[in-house]
Amino acid sequence: MIEVTGLTMRYGDALAVDDLTFAVRPGLVTGFLGPNGAGKSTTMRVILGLETPGTGTALVGGRPYGSLKEPMREVGALLDAGAVHGGRSAAAHLWCLARSNGIGRGRVGEVLEQVGLAEVADRRIAGFSLGMRQRLGIAAALLGDPDVLMFDEPVNGLDPEGIRWIRELMRLLAGEGRTVLVSSHLMGEMALTADHVVVIGRGRLIADTTMPELVERFQRGVLVRAADQRTLADVLRAGGASVGEEDGGLSVSGLDAARIGELALSRGIALRELTPRSASLEEAFMELTGESVEFGAGRAA
Amino acid sequence: MIDAIVSEWLKLRSLRSNLYLLAFSVLSVLLCAGLAFMVSRGIDNQTGDDRLRFDSIGSGLGAGLPVAYFVMGALGALSITSEHATGLIRTSLVAVPRRQLFLFAKIPPLVAVTLVAGQVLVFGMHFAAQAVLGDRAGQVLLDGRTLGASLTDPGVAAGLLVAGAAMPLVAMVGLGLGAVIRSTAGSMVTLIMILFVLPVVAQTLPGPWRARIGSFMMESLPDQIVAGEGAGILSPLAASAVLIAYPVVALTAGAVAIAVRGRGIRPLAVGGLVAALLAAVTVIPSSAAASALPWKPCGGDLECASVQVPVDWSKPSGRKVSIQIARLPAAGTHRRIGTVFSIPGGPGGSGIEDLKKKGGSFAELRRRFDVVSLAPRNTTDLGVIPFDCLRAGPWITVPADRAEYDSLAARNRASAEQCRKVDPEYFDHLDSGSVARDIEAIRVALEEERLSFVATSYGGVVATTYARLFPGGVRAMYIDGGVDHLADHATDLRLKSEMIEGQFTRFATWCASTATCALQGRDAGAVWRGLTAAADRSPVPVQGERVAYSGFDFKVAAAPDLISPGPAPDFANWQRFARAVDKAVQGDASGFADYVEQATESMKVPSFRGMNVTHCTDGLGFDGYQEFQRMKALGERLSPNFAGDELWHPLGCVGWPAPVTNPAAPMPADRLPPFLGAGTWTDHDITADIVMRVPGSSTVRYNGPGHGLYLSGNRCAIAHANRYLTSLRLPPRGTTCEPPAAG
């Protein structure tokens, strides 16, 4: 459980986080969405005690992060895969971290195995690819077997296989009842992973909802093509829908595809196409955060 | 806490770059060996006294220590700046969110590594330098130090241990700097500034600031902590405080810098308080406060003042007299040890004149001491008793019987009364005991707990009297060509006879082999004995004067030239002596009378009242006719060439009107530190008889002529004396100094 309440964070005159409140619940993968510069990383840094907020609180399991005695046993975090010393081996890096939280050496081998770095455990990190570093960062987050996990843009630099691995790992972790917060600026990625989303833009909360709800909100009606489109339009209007013409077909809203199919069948009208449409998640995301994008393409003109 | 510390230990250990850095520190050992090699080459290219001018390299750390410190500082700085540079700091702070704990957890592993590495390095540096120096290490230099220093020398092992123990402190300075500056390059530059640039800049500062600022540089602190021999004005306590203040200040700054906003106040308060307390320690004066005496400049470096003392120390509230004192102040480059008090000879000489004319001899000693002397109450030209009265006196004859002894007494008494009548109370209190008590009054006025003495010639009598009366006031006692007040008269006579006979033998040997000797080709000894024996029967006239020289007169006139032949290789005084003998053998004593008259305005050497005022009250005279007879007989047995000469001084005291107030008495040897004596061909053995009365004492023998080695600038003697006066370390018995090779 992560609880962020009334969080405000300022860098000089710039307001990075503006009165942000949300909660991340256990057992779910929660996506933390927003364009670059929205304040996602700052919020996560506040949760981890790396920054002190101007006002508001960020609690993990009901306590500020800084008061945790062995924080890695309660919270695992991947903030920046580059935040390592290239001169150490993967195993040494993890062992240093583990020891600082009283975690046994055995865990180092286990997490390296878990993230698929067991074979390169004794190689210096300097020679690692970005993807390997992401895996190493995730291994570090898993060291303390924590109930709360936070990942900032974990799929950056990963190949498709790696991306799928991360998705499955998060689902697995959530499935074990853990609290999982994953930030991303890519909506599509979240659609495949997250159960719940928190969307922010310019530091403000834009949406805090389940994934299905978010999809629902951006329903765009059903595209219908039929042999007798005029009759069908009348029937559907009578059925309570609003109907418009579009691209040689009908754009129907107010009825779902199943009901449209039933009404057409009842009148013996052959359907050539019946396509429920939603805005792509990318579009929805742009729509939600459009106002808040700091350096939007429109304004750049 | 423990977990965080162990984690930092793992971090330190798991970076190969740290190992390379430590390996780099071996450079410091090579530097020390290199410097020792250069010094060895330099000293091998010099001869004799020029070698004494070299600067000591001490335990040998000089060149390498800053390098070793830099490596340790860099290790400390890198332990945090590398985390900033790579971003690891964010990962680390997520693992250990309490930031000051995170920072301080780095200290124990750093301390462990740098302490071990540091000790290995300093001993490595020391042994490398000593190995290169080899035997040269023991060379005693002009400033009283040896060229090198062996581990068994006092303070050396402690100094090395402290220098090694300072390494962790430097590492903590690096850690603190790294936490503040965050950039590796910036931290390295700052460390280089602190460890290399500032000390060099300090050396370019003028006057006292060079020493004041230089003493606070990290590399000069360990030596000051063990009160070592190097430069620096801080007391051991103050130096320790400064050394600890460095990491305290750096770590305080680091803890404030690393704290999350608003959480830096506590470390700032604690660190600031500790630093302030440590700074306060350095303000505590390092040695006795400057005395309240109103010193006034009186020419050159010299400062003058005066101290009131009673004329008669048995009546402390009686009549007072003012004793003039002068000092050459300490240069202020090293921690001041105290005051060296120079006791002049004579009796009747002025120590202030010595400081004016021969103050250069004290140049090296003034790094650590004020040098103070006095114009003692018996100085002949003070004016209380007219100088013209004191510088003259009657001619002495050797009494042939009791009646002549009594008539000598009457003559002496009448002569003494001429001076005494001017101020009888003052005249009667010109003994060395009164002078010693005056010195004690000066010690009190100087606010010195103890004094370190350089006593020359008759100053030796004052010195031993002071040591007898005030043993607790003696820190060190160097007696140079001392007059022996403590030996019984028979022993003193034997020593003097051996001395002058030995010197006569040297003269005769020289004369036999030197064309410029007027007696060459003749047996100088036989000629001299013939002359003096004949003259005792029938005195030799001085041509054109109504004066004739007895054998006794010849001996008294000849002794100073014989003892002081003049500079080699000419030995002008020996030449003059030989010419005068040659002339006297032909029936004319004017060869002697001429130069005696030049020096004394008298055709024969007068028995100076100005010396007798002190000699006689110090008990140098005979206790009666019986003793005179015994001594005369003894002299004739011991001294074939100069028998009778040794009677001259005591005979001056026959009939003296003032009582013996400072008779010889033993010193409380068990309450005195070991003494050092130094002397030449003619005064070493007598000096040795004085100083060896205190157990553990030692002497330096100069194998050449002269009297008063220190004041006359003999570098070898000065080097040994300075070593003794500075660090109370004596040369082994039998140590000799050689005159510069002729050429």
pLDDT in tens, B576-596: 999 999 999 999 988 888 888
The helix/strand/coil state of B462 is helix
Closest by CA to B319, choosing from B426, B420, B441, B417, is B426
| Chain B partners within 8 Å of A71 (Cβ) | 94-95, 97
- CA dist A71 and B97 (Å) reads 8
Q: Is the CB of residue B363 less than 8 Å away from at least one CB of chain A?
A: no
Shortest CA distance from A82: residue in chain B:
B87
> Which SS3 state, helix, strand or coil, does residue B369 take?
strand
Nearest residue, CB atoms, A100 vs list B4, B87, B90: B4
State in Å, rounded, how far the first CA of chain B is from the last one: 75
CA atoms within 13 A on the CB side of A107: 21
Element housing B320 (H / E) = strand B320-328
Q: Do B7 and A140 touch (CB under 8 A)?
A: no
What residues are paired with B46 via a beta bridge? none
Contact A164, A133 (CB under 8 A): no
A270 with A227: CB under 8 angstroms? yes
- Under an 8 A CB cutoff, do A101 and B90 touch? no
Task: Give residue B413's Cα distance to chain centre.
Answer: 41
For B219, the token pair is 């590399």
Tell me the β-bridge partners of A201. Answer: A204
Nearest to A100 among B96, B260, B261 (CB): B96
> What is the value of pTM for the model shown?
0.81
Of A79, A93, A99, the CB nearest to B3: A99
Euclidean distance between CA atoms B260 and A50, whole angstroms? 8
Evaluate whether B314 touches B353 at the Cβ level (below 8 Å).
no
Per the structure block, which two tokens stand in for A276?
């429920």
- Give dist(CA B624, CA B692) in Å, integer: 29
How close is the nearest chain B Cα to the Cα of A137, in Å?
Answer: 9
- Residue whose C-alpha is closest to residue B338's, from B307, B371, B294, B305: B371
Instruction: Specify the pLDDT at position B287.
Output: 47
List, in sequence order, every beta strand (DSSP E) within chain A: 2-11, 14-24, 29-33, 55-60, 63-64, 75-78, 148-152, 179-184, 196-201, 204-210, 219-226, 242-246, 249-253, 271-278
B94 touches chain A (CB under 8 A): yes
Backbone angles phi, psi at B693, to 5 degrees: -70, -15
Residue located via tokens 């024969």: B604
Beta-carbon separation of A83 and B89 below 8 A: yes
What are the chain B neighbours of A52 within 8 Å (beta carbons)?
A: 260-262
Phi-psi region of B41 (alpha: psi -120 to 50; beta: other; left: phi over 0): alpha
Output the CA torsion sign for B544, B547, B549, B555: negative
Partners of residue B16 in chain A, C-beta under 8 Å: 87
CB-CB: which of A77, A80, A95 is closest to B87?
A80
- For residue B235, report the phi and psi dihedrals to the nearest 5 degrees: -70, 160
**Edge-to-edge strands, sheet with A219-226:** A242-246, A249-253, A219-226, A271-278
Give the number of A-B residue pairs with CB atoms closer than 8 Å: 86
At B291 the three-state DSSP class reads coil
Q: State both tokens at A218.
A: 């951006």
Q: State the pLDDT confidence band at A113, using cuts at 50, 70 and 90.
A: very high
pLDDT band with cut points at 50, 70 and 90 for residue A296: very low
pLDDT in the model for residue B288: 46
3-class state of residue B563 by DSSP: helix
Q: What share of chain A is helix, strand, coil (3-state, %, to 5)?
A: 40, 30, 30
DSSP letter assigned to residue A125: G
The SS3 assignment for A22 reads strand
Q: Which residues of A touch B108 (CB under 8 A)?
A: none
- The single-letter DSSP state of residue B520 is T
Distance of CA B610 to the CA centre of its chain: 29
Q: Among A42, A73, A85, which would you mutate to test the B interface (most chain B Cβ atoms within 10 Å of its Cβ)?
A: A85
Assess contact for B172 and B107: CB atoms under 8 A: yes
| DSSP structure string for B574-610 | HHHHHHHHHHHHTT-THHHHHHHHHHHSSSS----HH
Task: For strands A55-60 and A219-226, give the pairing.
Answer: unpaired
Position A76, amino acid: G
Taking the Cβ of residue A66 and every Cβ of chain B, the question of whether any pair is shorter than 8 Å is answered with yes
pLDDT surpasses 70 at A300: no
List the single best residue of B15, B90, B91, B260 to mutate versus A (max A Cβ within 10 A).
Answer: B91
End-to-end Cα distance, chain A: 43
Residue of B nearest to A91 (CA): B14
For residues B168 and B115, the answer to whether their CB atoms sit within 8 Å is yes
Q: Is some CB atom of chain B closer than 8 A to the CB atom of A87?
A: yes
Q: Which of B7, B16, B86 sits opposite A100 (nearest CB)?
A: B7
| Residue among B15, B87, B97 minimizing CB distance to A66 | B97
> What is the predicted pLDDT for the residue at A292?
56
Whether the CB of A71 is below 8 Å from some CB of chain B: the reply is yes
Phi first, then psi, for residue A83 (nearest 5°) are -80, 60
CA dihedral defined by A237, A240, A242, A248, rounded to 10 degrees? -40
What is the pLDDT at residue A214? 79
| Token pair listed for B267 | 């470390």
Contact B464, B488 (CB under 8 A): no
pLDDT at A297 over 50: no
Q: Are A85 and A97 in contact (CB under 8 A)?
A: no
- pLDDT of residue A173 exceeding 90: yes
What's the CA gap between B457 and B677, in Å, rounded? 11
Residues of B in contact with A77 (CB under 8 A): 94
Q: In A, which residues are within 8 Å of B89 by CB distance?
A: 83
Is residue B669 within 8 A of residue B693, CB to CB? The reply is yes
- How far apart, in whole angstroms, are the C-alpha atoms of residue B609 and residue B345? 16
CB B391 within 8 A of CB B380: yes
CB B534 within 8 A of CB B528: no
- Distances from the Cα of B12 to the Cαs of B22, B100, B186, in angstroms? 12, 18, 21
Domains of chain B: residue spans and CATH: 2-204 (no CATH), 297-375+430-486+665-737 (3.40.50.1820), 489-606 (no CATH)
3-class secondary-structure state, position B377: coil
Using only C-alpha atoms, what is the Rg of chain B? 33
Q: Which residue from B445, B477, B446, B447 is spatially nearest to B462, judged by alpha carbons?
A: B477
CB distance B319 to B429 below 8 Å: no
CA distance A245 to A248: 7
Q: Does A254 touch chain B (CB under 8 A)?
A: no
- Nearest chain B CA: its distance from A206 CA (Å): 28
Interface test with A, best of B19, B90, B94 (most A CBs within 10 A): B94
Give the CA count within 13 Å in the CB-facing half-sphere of A191.
15
Tokens of residue A2, six digits:
């992560």
Task: Kindly state the tokens that stand for B564.
Answer: 């002081």
pLDDT in the model for residue B290: 55
Distance from the Cα of B179 to chain A's closest Cα (Å) equals: 16
Residue B126 forms contact with A (CB below 8 Å):
no
Q: For A54, left (φ over 0), alpha (ψ -120 to 50), or beta?
A: alpha
Contact between chains at A99 and B17 (C-beta distance less than 8 A): no
By C-alpha distance, the chain A residue nearest B1 is A100
Q: Which residues of chain B have pLDDT under 50?
A: 286-289, 743
Q: Compute the average pLDDT of residues A266-292.
A: 76
Domains of chain A, CATH where assigned: 2-215 (3.40.50.300), 220-283 (3.30.70)
Is the per-residue pLDDT at A277 higher than 80? no
Do B97 and A82 make contact, defined as CB atoms within 8 angstroms? no
B122, B63 Cβ separation under 8 angstroms = no
